Amino acid sequence: MQVLISATLRGFFGKNAAFSTDADTIRGVLDALTGEYPDAKKVLFEEGGTLRSFIRIYAGEHDWTATEHWVKPLPPGKDVLLLPAIAGGAPAKSIIPDERRKAVSFDDAEIERFEKHFMLSEIGVKGQKRIKTARVVVIGAGALGAPVIQYLAAAGVGTIKVVDDDEVSLSNLQSQVIHSTRDLKRPKVASAKDTVRNINKTIVFEAEAVRLDAGNAAELIDGYDMVIDCTDNYKTRYLINDACGLCGIPLVFGAIYQYEGQVGVFHLNDGPCYRCAFPAPPPAGLVPTCAQGGAISPLPGIIGSIQANEALKLIIGIGEHLSGKLLIIDSLYLKSRIVEIKKNPSCPLCGTHPVITEVEDFDYEEFCGLKETEEEAVIEGFTPEELASRIENGDAMTIVDVREPHERAILRFPDAIVIPIGQLARRQNELDPEKDTIFICKEGKRSILAINTLREAGYKGSLYNLKGGIDAMKDIMFSHEGAWL
């Protein structure tokens, strides 16, 4: 039996993409995995031993996450897949009403521009008219948004609204091909608008340089035909999902991490939603986002192109789509698979007794079960300036770096010891409880998780967090280093 491990989890499994076992049940598989990789228990299970809600287990293409399946014999010849959140059947008809299609026409330039679409029998004139009258919202003008926006514009989608409050930075240019060097420090929506204008000046481009939140989500998407999620964080994904469900708008979802990507379609013809697939996101810091873990530059082009393809098929009304399914692509090992996503009757948004009736903001840590109770000690921390001062003064302390190896290769921290979060409990004897211990990571989130992990393991020494992480401290110079941190 082969157990396939998603890229976001491999750090807990010795960086391995697959694991072989003779176990013939899900329970046996999980026992074999955690027996070989004890550190994996923290990412797979809650304290009480229940599977974390952001993990799905598949045998072949079928979902075996429910515990009642764990004692059943596994189907022969089927691999088991551990799938975390990162992120068919033919449609009966196009999502674009016929009256809107009939209301548009083409001029000579458009007939020449879309000649290759007209040649496809599944698209033809009627399909291209549907594309022209379509109104699509793309949330995120970054790595995934770059190919999505450009291909929708090239295909002739009549109205494209792009929502993003970020500015173009140099690090964006490695994968966000809609921007260029001349766009540095410009709003991403402005850069994207210029690119779309160069592709097709007839496109109506609506630039929204705002951050999507609970207060504006429904207003930003209401009245549009489709939303395409090209974001890079879990909290926004749930806000988008809820807004689409409440507004009755189909959602094309995409997510990437390092070499792996996911694509799915939600809220279509009473199909499942993102919450049905992943009831809750992973705890902050446990599984890195794309922004924290990186991605190979062509991957967003692959995943974003598939998102655009799904969007166009839904607009035209052709082919099979990913409603009730999730496409998973591993570009490192050139593997892909499609797994089913079933509608969850208990889903708080689209289940039989929904309790979410409006888009609401939420506390990420409370949502993930990480909110500190009154009995728990408050996590104290140092600002970058305070930590720098202590280092310069030669104060006795231990600095623990919990970042991934590739992060440390980019930017090292002087005199820090390296202990991965999953090894902290069994390596706590390497720390001196008589000294202050300061944890550092990229943004100051994983270090909080590290402190909680040590506290749960019974460590009694003083533990502190570097507020804002390495990102907040990277411009500070140490005199004994002779270089920027």
Same domain, 327 and 454: no
| pLDDT tens digits, 111-147 | 999 999 999 989 999 999 999 999 999 999 999 999 9
* pLDDT for the residue numbered 411: 77
Predicted confidence band at 48 (pLDDT cuts at 50, 70, 90)? confident
What element of type H or E holds 247? helix 234-247
Is the distance from CB of 57 to CB of 83 less than 8 angstroms?
A: yes
- The least confident of 67-81, 272-286, 327-341 is 272-286
Q: What amino acid positions are annotated as catalytic residues?
A: 290, 441
Domain assignment present for residue 43? The answer is: yes
Mean pLDDT of the 5-25 span: 81
Structure tokens that stand for 25 in this block: 């049940």
| Rg of the chain over all Cα atoms, to the nearest angstrom | 24
The residue to which tokens 């009258």 are assigned: 133
Same domain, 329 and 244: yes
Give 297 or 407, the one with higher predicted confidence.
297
Judge whether residue 176 has pLDDT over 70: yes
Question: What is the rounded CA–CA span in Å between residue 431 and residue 437?
Answer: 8
| Amino acid found at 319 | G
Judge whether residue 337 has pLDDT over 60: yes
The secondary structure of the chain in percent helix, strand, coil, rounded to multiples of 5, reads 35, 20, 45
CATH code of residue 285: 3.40.50.720
Domain assignment present for residue 220? The answer is: yes
3-state secondary structure at position 55: strand
Same domain, 78 and 204: no
Number of structural domains (the chain) is 3
Predicted confidence band at 191 (pLDDT cuts at 50, 70, 90)? very high
User: DSSP letter at 250?
Assistant: -
Same domain, 273 and 388: no
Residue ending a domain, among 51, 84, 117, is 84
Same domain, 308 and 442: no
Backbone angles phi, psi at 436, to 5 degrees: -65, 135
| Amino acid found at 456 | E
Domain assignment present for residue 471? The answer is: yes
Residue ending a domain, among 367, 399, 428, is 367
Average pLDDT over the chain reads 87
Same domain, 350 and 390: no
Q: Model-level pTM greater than 0.85?
A: no
Backbone angles phi, psi at 132, to 5 degrees: -65, -35
Mean pLDDT of the 410-415 span: 79
Same domain, 206 and 76: no
Residue ending a domain, among 84, 100, 119, is 84
Same domain, 361 and 396: no
Is the distance from CB of 176 to CB of 142 less than 8 angstroms?
A: yes
Same domain, 60 and 168: no
* pLDDT for the residue numbered 360: 87
Domain range for 14: 2-84
Same domain, 274 and 323: yes
CA distances from 244 to 1, 217, 261 (A): 39, 9, 22
Predicted confidence band at 88 (pLDDT cuts at 50, 70, 90)? very low
* pLDDT for the residue numbered 483: 40
Domain assignment present for residue 473? The answer is: yes
CATH code of residue 13: 3.10.20.30
- The least confident of 149-163, 398-412, 431-445 is 398-412
* pLDDT for the residue numbered 286: 60
| pLDDT tens digits, 421-440 | 878 888 999 999 999 999 99
Predicted confidence band at 369 (pLDDT cuts at 50, 70, 90)? very low
Judge whether residue 287 has pLDDT over 70: no
Backbone angles phi, psi at 352, to 5 degrees: -70, -25
Q: What is the largest CA-CA distance in the chain?
A: 80
First to last CA, the chain: 46
Domain assignment present for residue 372? The answer is: no
Find, among 410, 400, 416, the residue nearest to 484 by Cα: 410
Find, among 111, 110, 107, 200, the residue nearest to 151 by Cα: 200
CA distances from 85 to 2, 8, 326 (A): 21, 9, 11
CATH code of residue 426: 3.40.250.10
* pLDDT for the residue numbered 283: 65
Domain assignment present for residue 304? The answer is: yes
Domain assignment present for residue 460? The answer is: yes
Domain assignment present for residue 97? The answer is: no
Same domain, 283 and 358: yes
Is the distance from CB of 8 to CB of 257 less than 8 angstroms?
A: yes
Same domain, 306 and 348: yes
* pLDDT for the residue numbered 477: 55
